[in-house]
Structure 1
Amino acid sequence: MKHRENVTGFAARVAMWSARHRALAIVGWLVFVVGATVLSGQIGTLEATGSDQGHGESRRAEQIVERAGFPEQPAGEMVIVQGADRDAAVAEVTKALDGRPEVGGIAEPVASADGRATLVSFTMTGDPETAMDRVQPLRDAVAQVQERHPGLFIAEAGDASADKMFSDTLDAGLSRLSMLSIPVTLGILLVAFGAVVAALIPVGLALTAIVAAIGLLAGASRLAPAVDTTQHVLLLVGLAVGVDYCLFYIRRERDERRAGADPHRALVIAAQTSGRSVWISGLTVIVAMAGMFFTQDATFASFGMATILVVATAVLGSLTVLPALLSALGDRVDAIKIPGLYRRREGRVWPALLRVVLAKPLLSVVVAVGVLATLAAPALDLRTRGGSIEDMSPKQPTVRTFVAIAEAFPTEVVPAEVVVQAPSVRGPRFEAALAAFRRAAAASGRLREPIEVRVNPAGTVAVVTVGLAGNGSDRTSESAVDTLRATVAPDTLGKLAGATVAVGGDTAENMDFNTRLSDSVPWVFGFVLGLAFLLLLVSFRSVVVAVTGVVLNLFSVAAAYGMLVFVFQDGHFESALDFKSGGGITNWMPLFLFIILFGLSMDYHVFVLSRIREGHDRGLPTRQAVSEGIGRTAGVITSAALVMVAVFALFATLPLISTKELGIGLAAAVLLDATIIRAILLPALMSLLGAKNWWLPRWLNWLPQVAHDLPEAPTPAREDRELVPAA
């Protein structure tokens, strides 16, 4: 006969079902993972197109070009020759390239405005998508010319060279990341648990959740097409939250066993406490990630879809297969203990710090807020910038070559594109409009030659490329685009009968992207902050707790912004991190970090608050509940934070500056969140507030009751005692 233990809450009921049907739960999880993988292989993942990722006028320009049926543009390469007496070297470069099967055509050499450099441009034969596989012999030929002229600078860069650099360096970086992330995570868990089996379970569950989420992403890409970096973000978030959720659950189950609970009751308590925290935390993270859809941007939508899928999958695994595994293993979860690491008691550092904090709560609040404010202060000067080739390591030869070409021939690297759609873009009327465009461009002082024209086979769309003043990403270039859009293009090419004119190109695309983000910021912030507040309010039935949670998370985000500005905008640690500051933060980074950090911070906040609320519901005074709750969770919070910090920090080893910003920003914020905020500011603030922490206005008493106290210990029948085998 079954006992009548009152198991309440969705997470606990699911866990108990899994424990009773553990074979079905474990096999079902494996079938789910395999099925999602097979689905991905069958239907494939839909990639976002150029126009999918665009905004505003530049997106309209891209869409017109995509529909116009232009022949595929061949991959273009450039060779720069700098220095005095370079004519012979230029001739040798042309001769070395001429007649090679990889070369389609070579343009006449062009001298720079200052007369110190010459540029040899050429196109490559074959599919431009695979040109990077054929470019190395050409680079070798140019390198041989460089060897014969050591007094000159001779180097090649272009579409194929850039693709090859990105592919080679990113592949090497991701391979290194995958080789390091799992051993590093496993090493931290071995220290945290002191037992091999307990350490392997979170890693295994996180990896299978990631594999399943990647499979599900194939279907979801029909709603939100994936971008290149989507799977990188999925891996980063999935490994962090998947391991943390298991860590919270397993530690609670082991703690209850060590406190004397029988195997079944220990699992029930873990399910009803840590399981509920995982459920609430996961839901909060998913809500935060859903804020990305408010940007109406393909990149953010892809990131949002991927992170929602991997968090939901990790929560599903933590609530189903994890209890089944713990039920099957029982005390064998502690198998293969590591001498010197296996401990049955928490350390002494955090309890000692907590005693000081609770003894001087006001001073602790002042010190913690002062430290966080100091770290956040540089964020007051935060500036954003678009991506460029210089986001790669400055040590890369291709990057150095692009920089040299951009300095000597700026209009060759970052031209604007004026797309003209009309009944006809051939004949005298178009030629007259084009001549007027050339005159207006020259008179503007902001637009440069060369001005070149491409016309589609139907003669209905023309793409007019024109050089911009500036370096393509500075205010000078943006002013040139503004001039082009406001007067030069509409007053000349726009006068053609029935013409539609749109200005695109890299600079215009970055400007339109920034405008889109600026417009969406209030909506994203309002959605994420508002729903996070509501979830905390419903979960803990306290307005004060909900407000405190939101404010503390904003502290960690602000501190992360400040550290990003200090490092990447101001250019500190350039040598150590192998980057060159572009004078700003990647334009999508601040909003993305806000969403990710706000979601991930809730992991710790919900877990800690749930333990504090347990004590409060048992009748403990607030200060004692805070001391007990944080004291008992300090070890697991430290371990969980170390996992996240280690995984995020590894992303700083990737070659792109955006991934470095992402890794450093997330790692720093999580470290601050788990130390200064959760270990000092939260307990000090709750101690000062006392009973006010749990204030709820009478008109909100209709909110559902969420039990945070422990279930009573019944006398289980034989059937239930067998749910969890003895060690």
Structure 2
Amino acid sequence: METFSRFVLRHKLFVAMVWLAVTAAGAFAVTQVSDRLVEDFAPAGSAARDANQAIDATYRSGGDSAPTVPVIVLPEGRTVDDPAVRASLGTAFENAAKRLDARVVSYADTGDRRFVGADGRTTFGFVYPRHPAGKPVDEAPDISKPLAQIIQPSLPTGATLRVTGMDLLSEGAGEEGVSVLTETLVGGVGALLVLAFVFGSFLAFVPLLIAVVSILGSFLAVYGLTELGEVNFLVQFVVALIGLGVAVDYSLLLVTRWREERAHGHDGEEAVHRAMATAGRSVVFSGVAVSIGLIVMVVLPVPFLRSIAYGGVIIPAVSVLATLTLLPIILATAGPRLDWPRLRKDSHASRAWAAWTRGVIRFRFPAALGAIAVLVALAFGGLNIHLGEAGSIAGAKTGPAHDGLVALRSAGIGSGVLTPVDVLVPAGSTPAQVASRLADVEGVRTAVAPSGEAWRQGGSALLSVVPVDEGGTNAGHDTVRRIRDAVPAKTHVGGEAASDIDFINQVYGVFPWMLGLIALLTFVLLARAFRSLVLPLKAVALNLLSLAAVIGSVTLIWQEGHGSDAVWGIPATGAVGAFIPCLIFAFLYGLSMDYEVFILARIREEYERTGSTREAIVEGLGRTGRLVTSAALILCLAFASMAAAPMTEVKVFATGLGLGILLDATIIRGILVPALISMFGDWNWWLPAWAARILRVPPSRAVARPEAPELVSVPGPAGT
């Protein structure tokens, strides 16, 4: 690293101009990239994806887009059995179909009493607005207001109309949010406050500058990716906010070490070279660790996960590059002037963290047992996780959409009607017979085969199957599976629930293998970095335990509602988005390794200097404890900003990442790491000759020293 840093400082002007050009181009890319992103979550080649695409291409609506559902409650004394009432309902829905260019179905045109509540006065219908030919859309437009204006005049006097639907309920639950730019600025302000406390000088602005350069450079790379294929819209949140946290983390580590070297009497470029030789190496390993969890997602058969993986790998790569090239130039040229008024100094380890570490070492057995008990208890919450679309219970608590939902439930209809399943019947089949068969499937309220051009195209027919339970529930998933089993050959079953089922089968079927591969790659990386088999094994085990605790926490907070309503005003969702756990695992596994690398690198360095594991732990955490805490706080602030994003799924994702960083910086790194390392003694550094040959590093071994209560390292076969 010292050779690399000398090369960078010999070419200051060239490196600075390259980053200036990248930043300028990235600023342009930020203004353009959002229009190039897509919202496709379905696995490639899945039955649901093919069905939804075929439905959308032929009928220009439906598939994985939920319908708008008008709910009509007739006045006292009037029922749908009245011919005049049925006629007025027919007129209302016909007008909606014509004026909104929509396909509609209701009791008026089917005569199916299962479109009517037990009171005979409450009825509903489905309205699917069609998009222009050749211009598919990611979701159905909001037609609630014009639909109400069209339907209401045709209804009997005294009838009430409430327009609802899954999209309308989610929008009313607070789906509107601030922009990615605003969220990033909020996270940046929080990061600046933390950095000002850490440095006590104008150096606080330097990591933010590196973060800006890294984020804009990453957006430029994402812009390039959109030329090669589809990139999911979640990438913009990931790049902006995770990029902010990671870039600041890496800069914080290098600047802190640079200040420490200056405090020890190394001035000018020498302080930069010494900081790069130690902290720079840790930044490289940390960047690789973050990338490992994301690279593995590339092998999953889901295009949107691959695009996020590509985008995610860009973040640490650009951040590492900016930290190791642009930051040394800033420190070598303007660093000493920026380090003013220097209210804090880095010549000694933190007394508070050193005292805390000694306390943990003294009570290492109860500390370790208590920390593990907390993590296991949280992990048990994840045993009840249900993957799927958030239910109507998480929707708006006031407004027309909520009132429509209440009317459906009051009439005994239930909320399952909000998630109908589209079934595309090929030419040559008899739609009415297929609908009759599906109406008898367990969990199906009714199935209809409307006639007319809007429901029949090119010899094919589109059926609407209305489930008893919402599609996102376990019962709803079971119903969709039974529908798939009951349909004839070459018949397509679409909808959001079908997409979730295919996603779960394709992704989580190979998920254990993905975790195993990530764990193996991380183990090899850390074993080579720290010349130990024990430390990487401990790191991987703790990471998996903390990740399980995070998934359990997300389940308790969002699916069960223990906190989501109080903090975000969103009731229990009843489910966790199918893609969220795998994303949390992929991102959090690498991000949490940041702190493992930061801490263990310094502990290893101090161990080699003192020969005492206990002193190495105390000095290592004393030097890195405040850094890790500050870095974790900055990431948590970034994820808190991310939780203000418009979509509930993004809020859940951000919550998981924030909780993971919080647990990792406190329970894992603050308690379990020092407790377990002190328990293992110098066996932490054990690396036998056979493993050293595989890793291509010098071997080492640990033996008991009679005069000390712990193990100490002695030269191994290779002279270490």
TM-score normalised by length of structure 2: 0.83
Question: Which of 647, 658, 666 does residue 667 from structure 1 map onto?
Answer: 658
Kept after mapping to 2: 8 A contact 1:124/1:131: no
Task: Indicate the SS of the match to 1:618.
Answer: helix
Deviation at 1:320, TM superposition (A): 0.7
Q: Aligned pair in 2 of structure 1 residues 638, 43: CA closer, same or farther (>3 Å)?
A: closer
The aligned residue for residue 156 of structure 1 is 163
Identity %: 27
Deviation at 1:637, TM superposition (A): 0.9
Which residue identity lines up with residue 201 of structure 2 in the other structure?
A
Q: Partners in 1 of 2:362 and 2:474 — Cα distance?
A: 53
Q: Aligned pair in 2 of structure 1 residues 531, 392: CA closer, same or farther (>3 Å)?
A: farther
The aligned residue for residue 493 of structure 2 is 503
Task: Indicate the SS of the match to 1:419.
Answer: strand
Q: Aligned pair in 2 of structure 1 residues 95, 413: CA closer, same or farther (>3 Å)?
A: closer
Question: Which of 191, 195, 219 does residue 197 from structure 2 map onto?
Answer: 191
Aligned residue pair count: 673
Is 1:444 the counterpart of 2:441? The answer is yes
User: 1:178-217 residue pairs with structure 2 within 5 A?
Assistant: 178-196=184-202, 198-217=203-222
Q: Deviations over 1:561-581 (max 9, x none)?
A: 222222223221243121121
Deviation at 1:410, TM superposition (A): 5.2
Kept after mapping to 1: 8 A contact 2:184/2:638: no
The aligned residue for residue 551 of structure 2 is 561
Q: Partners in 1 of 2:148 and 2:50 — Cα distance?
A: 40
Question: Which of 208, 212, 226 does residue 231 from structure 2 map onto?
Answer: 226
Is 1:618 the counterpart of 2:614? The answer is no
The aligned residue for residue 673 of structure 2 is 682
Deviation at 1:359, TM superposition (A): 2.2
Kept after mapping to 2: 8 A contact 1:574/1:581: yes
Is 1:472 the counterpart of 2:471? The answer is yes
Which residue identity lines up with residue 113 of structure 1 in the other structure?
G
Deviation at 1:19, TM superposition (A): 2.0
Deviation at 1:396, TM superposition (A): 6.6
The aligned residue for residue 462 of structure 2 is 463
User: 1:284-323 residue pairs with structure 2 within 5 A?
Assistant: 284-323=289-328
The aligned residue for residue 369 of structure 2 is 366
Listed as ranges, the gaps of 5+ residues in structure 2 are 109-114, 700-720
Answer 1 or 2: higher relative contact order, Cα 8 Å, separation at least 6: 1
Kept after mapping to 2: 8 A contact 1:195/1:334: yes
Q: Deviations over 1:235-286 (max 9, x none)?
A: 2311111111111111111122122222322211210111111100101111
Q: Deviations over 1:460-500 (max 9, x none)?
A: 544333222322222333233222222x312xxx3xxxxx2
Q: Partners in 2 of 1:442 and 1:99 — Cα distance?
A: 26
Q: Partners in 2 of 1:518 and 1:130 — Cα distance?
A: 25
Q: Deviations over 1:276-304 (max 9, x none)?
A: 11100101111111121232112211221
Deviation at 1:401, TM superposition (A): 4.1
Question: Which of 378, 385, 389 does residue 388 from structure 2 map onto?
Answer: 385
Q: Partners in 2 of 1:190 and 1:43 — Cα distance?
A: 32
Kept after mapping to 2: 8 A contact 1:77/1:121: yes
Question: Which of 103, 112, 117 does residue 113 from structure 1 map onto?
Answer: 117
Which residue identity lines up with residue 483 of structure 2 in the other structure?
L
Q: Aligned pair in 2 of structure 1 residues 243, 689: CA closer, same or farther (>3 Å)?
A: same
| Two-structure CA RMSD over aligned residues (Å) | 3.9
Q: Partners in 2 of 1:522 and 1:117 — Cα distance?
A: 48
Q: Aligned pair in 2 of structure 1 residues 444, 248: CA closer, same or farther (>3 Å)?
A: same
Q: Aligned pair in 2 of structure 1 residues 626, 411: CA closer, same or farther (>3 Å)?
A: closer
Kept after mapping to 2: 8 A contact 1:373/1:559: yes
Question: Which of 8, 16, 19 does residue 6 from structure 2 map onto?
Answer: 16
Identify the range of structure 1 (93-102 vs 28-37) with the bigger mean alpha-carbon deviation. Answer: 93-102
Kept after mapping to 1: 8 A contact 2:43/2:502: no
User: 1:585-624 residue pairs with structure 2 within 5 A?
Assistant: 585-624=576-615
The aligned residue for residue 146 of structure 2 is 138
Q: Aligned pair in 2 of structure 1 residues 600, 107: CA closer, same or farther (>3 Å)?
A: closer
Task: Indicate the SS of the match to 2:266.
Answer: coil
Q: Aligned pair in 2 of structure 1 residues 403, 292: CA closer, same or farther (>3 Å)?
A: farther
Identify the range of structure 1 (244-253 vs 513-522) with the bigger mean alpha-carbon deviation. Answer: 513-522
Q: Partners in 2 of 1:88 and 1:419 — Cα distance?
A: 33
Q: Partners in 1 of 2:96 and 2:640 — Cα distance?
A: 48
The aligned residue for residue 354 of structure 1 is 357
Deviation at 1:522, TM superposition (A): 1.9
Q: Deviations over 1:589-628 (max 9, x none)?
A: 2222111111001100011111111112224211111111
Is 1:530 the counterpart of 2:537? The answer is no
Q: Aligned pair in 2 of structure 1 residues 156, 469: CA closer, same or farther (>3 Å)?
A: closer
Q: Aligned pair in 2 of structure 1 residues 86, 588: CA closer, same or farther (>3 Å)?
A: farther
Identify the range of structure 1 (354-363 vs 106-115) with the bigger mean alpha-carbon deviation. Answer: 106-115
Q: Partners in 2 of 1:469 and 1:559 — Cα distance?
A: 34
Deviation at 1:157, TM superposition (A): 3.6
Listed as ranges, the gaps of 5+ residues in structure 1 are 1-8, 495-499, 708-727
The aligned residue for residue 274 of structure 1 is 279
Task: Indicate the SS of the match to 2:72.
Answer: strand
Task: Indicate the SS of the match to 2:447.
Answer: strand
